């Protein structure tokens, strides 16, 4: 009678170890990307808005942001504004690579997130959810506070 109980205990112990070992790699591979100071400039009367934030990769390996989405917009994407020959142009920025230990600032006049076809007008003071889509399937959820039109 003692053998079945001992066998059951050994199986449960092995199963528990297997679950712990299976969980360990997922924790090690979790992205080290953080976001700070996320904000959006309110654009009264418009169905587009720009979002800004600072991203930091606390890990040692590069991370790549493949895209962005928000329940508040039909389309969201990373854009970059550049100045060439006195002309300001904006174009999509396909992938945003962030080196290990690096910080990337999305700010007016440079990299930013464009929100197109907003579901409703933005109101100063509200929070807008953004989801950054990372290479490898990870995501980073961010809440961006809406600032008045003249904010920097």
CA distance 53 to 144: 8
- Residue 68, burial from CB neighbour count under 10 angstroms (0-12, 13-18, 19+): buried
> Which pLDDT score is estimated for 135?
95
Question: Which superfamily, per CATH, for 33-147?
Answer: PCu(A)C copper chaperone (2.60.40.1890)
pLDDT in tens, 14-42: 444 443 333 333 333 445 999 999 999 98
Mean pLDDT to the nearest integer, 124-136: 96
pLDDT in tens, 81-118: 887 788 877 887 889 999 999 999 999 999 999 999 99
Mean pLDDT to the nearest integer, 118-126: 94
Q: Residues near 50 by Cβ (< 8 Å), separated by ≥ 6?
A: 40, 41, 79, 108, 112, 113, 114, 115
Handedness of CA 15, 22, 132, 146 (dihedral sign): positive
Mean pLDDT to the nearest integer, 67-76: 97
* Phi-psi category of residue 36: left, alpha or beta, with phi > 0 → left and psi -120 to 50 → alpha: beta
> Which pLDDT score is estimated for 3?
52
Q: In the chain, what are the domain boundaries?
A: 1-29, 33-147
Collapse the DSSP code of 77 into the 3-class scheme (helix H, G, I; strand E, B; otherwise coil) and give the result: strand
Average pLDDT, the chain: 82
> Which pLDDT score is estimated for 43?
84
């Amino acid at each position: 009678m003692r053998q079945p109980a001992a066998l059951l205990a050994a199986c449960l112990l092995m199963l528990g170890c297997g679950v712990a070992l299976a969980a360990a790699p997922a924790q090690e591979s979790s992205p080290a990307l953080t976001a700070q100071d996320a904000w959006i400039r309110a654009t009264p009367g418009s169905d587009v808005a720009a979002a800004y934030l600072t991203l930091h990769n606390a890990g040692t390996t590069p991370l790549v942001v493949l895209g962005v989405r928000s329940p508040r917009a039909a389309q969201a994407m990373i854009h970059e504004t550049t100045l060439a020959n006195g002309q300001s142009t904006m174009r999509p920025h396909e992938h945003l690579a962030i080196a290990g230990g690096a910080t990337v600032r999305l700010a007016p006049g440079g990299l930013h997130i464009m929100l197109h076809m907003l579901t409703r007008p933005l109101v100063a003071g509200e929070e807008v959810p953004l989801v950054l889509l990372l290479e490898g399937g990870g995501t980073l959820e961010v809440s961006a506070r809406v600032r008045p039109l003249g904010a920097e």
